[in-house]
Amino acid sequence: MDRQKFDTWLEGYRDAWQNNDRDQVAALFAEDARYCTSPFDEPWVGREAIVDSWTEETGEDEQFELRWEILGVEGDRGIVRCWITYWDAERSEPQEEFSTIWLVELDGEGRCREFTEWYMERPKLPL
């Protein structure tokens, strides 16, 4: 994998998330992929389980912005820092903000074999 392939995969991830489209999500992952929403939680195992869990957890009309900076690529693994902002319905006020690190392993076809994320939520400021 190189940076361009990784960036293309990340764009596909963002698009699948925005659309919450089962086919787009499925296209991102290998048949036997593992998706860890936290390094200490049980992973979602297998493409079908990933698609089911992803589409169930993503809210309808979820308004968010995803930005990223690729930190490194070595072999078939990439590491990226992401910033995720969830917005209100009018996209005028941020509701939640996260800083995350993703470790992503792609196969030869550009599909994810293993995904692990670490995330930190920005504390809410007092009114």
pLDDT exceeds 90 at position 61: no
- Is the separation of the CB atoms in 71 and 81 below 8 Å? yes
C-alpha distances (whole Å) from 21 to each of 15, 18, 40, 60, 119 are 9, 8, 27, 11, 23
Q: Tens digit of pLDDT for each residue in 73-96?
A: 999 999 999 999 988 777 777 778
pLDDT exceeds 70 at position 70: yes
The pLDDT assigned to 59 comes to 66
Mean pLDDT along residues 23-51 = 96
Choice between 101 and 127, residue whose per-residue pLDDT is larger: 101
Q: Using a pLDDT cut of 90, give the percent of the chain over it.
A: 67
Single pTM value for the model = 0.89
The pLDDT assigned to 125 comes to 62
CB count within 10 Å of CB 81 equals 13
C-alpha distances (whole Å) from 24 to each of 45, 88, 119 are 17, 25, 23
Q: Domain 3-121 belongs to what topology?
A: Nuclear Transport Factor 2; Chain: A, (3.10.450)
The pLDDT assigned to 81 comes to 98
